[in-house]
Amino acid sequence: MATERDYSKLDRVLLQADAALRTLLPFSGQPQRVSPALLHPDVPLREDDTRHVTGLMRINHTGEVCAQALYQGQALTARLPEVRSAMEHAAEEEIDHLAWCEQRIRELGGRPSLLNPLFYGLSFGVGAAAGLISDRISLGFVAATEDQVCQHLDEHLAQLPPEDEKSRAILEQMRIDEEQHSTAALEAGGLRFPAPVKFGMTLLSKVMTKATYRI
């Protein structure tokens, strides 16, 4: 089995390609944890509620696609082995979220966003660029991104129908994990981004959410 120092640049590119396929192909990601939704009964929702929850879960699924791409891009260009390892570990945990969201979307009779390949490519490029600049910037970008995700999750939790315990359980566990990722990135030396940068990230995230709600 190859160690950290045994991987060539070509090896890493091939690993990234494999990660992209596992992220974008339906049901390719294998979660390490059982979905929290399985602990709750499947309660029928009204048609308009079903449509709205499907849109929300589609947004969250695309967010996880972006997170995978971001972490993989950063891992490819990270300078320090420990930073690269942390990025790869975080990406593994995000696979759980990706699989949970996709499963819930299918249960609701929907499908993931058709724009996922586009957002994956853009996020991978941003992650790789951040890693090239510095590990501190890269970790700071993780923290800022996870903070944005937590805000979206809070908004979505407030919009869920009270009877949809399945979706609520998924989003609540995701929020716990994302907050931990943000804290870990800052503790590892990540830069705290200034308010104007976070505001710009918020505007970009709004574009993503509006586009993937229906498409």
Binding residues: 64, 94, 97, 146, 178, 181
What's the alpha-carbon Rg for the chain, to the nearest Å?
Answer: 17
DSSP letters of 67-119?
A: HHHHHHHHHHH-SSHHHHHHHHHHHHHHHHHHHHHHHHHHHTT----TTHHHH
Q: Which residues sit in the known binding site for Fe cation?
A: 64, 94, 97, 146, 178, 181
Helix H, strand E, coil C: the string for 183-194 is HHHHHCCCCCCC
Q: How far apart are the first and last CA of the chain?
A: 41
Name the residue among 192, 95, 104, 102 with its Cα closest to residue 142.
192
Cβ-based burial of 115 (10 A; exposed 0-12, middle 13-18, buried ≥19):
middle
